[in-house]
Amino acid sequence: MATNVILPVLATWAQTKGNKRLNQQCRECYCRLPALPSNTITREALRLINNPTVRGIPSDACMGQGLMHLYRSALA
């Protein structure tokens, strides 16, 4: 919930209010959140990327979200 709702809303609010410090803190917090456990989408995205430097489960929430975005973009 923090990854998909709370931090994006708070960061957007901070940006509209011109609060650069809060916006930066939201981004830093987002980058420190752990990834969810590997699932079918993230495993398939990793397979589609086929990059030997990117292996295993996502290490943080940002990478997990990125993999899901790449997967959905590939299917569009």
Q: What is the pLDDT of residues 13-68, one digit of tens each?
A: 999 999 999 999 998 998 888 887 878 888 888 888 776 666 666 778 888 888 88
Give the chain's count of helices (H) and strands (E). 4, 0
State whether 6 and 40 are in the same domain. no
The total domain count for the chain is: 2
pLDDT at 12: 92
pLDDT at 60: 82
pLDDT at 75: 80
Range of the domain at 74: 36-76
State whether 8 and 25 are in the same domain. yes
Q: Is 49 exposed, middle or buried (0-12, 13-18, 19+ CB in 10 A)?
A: middle
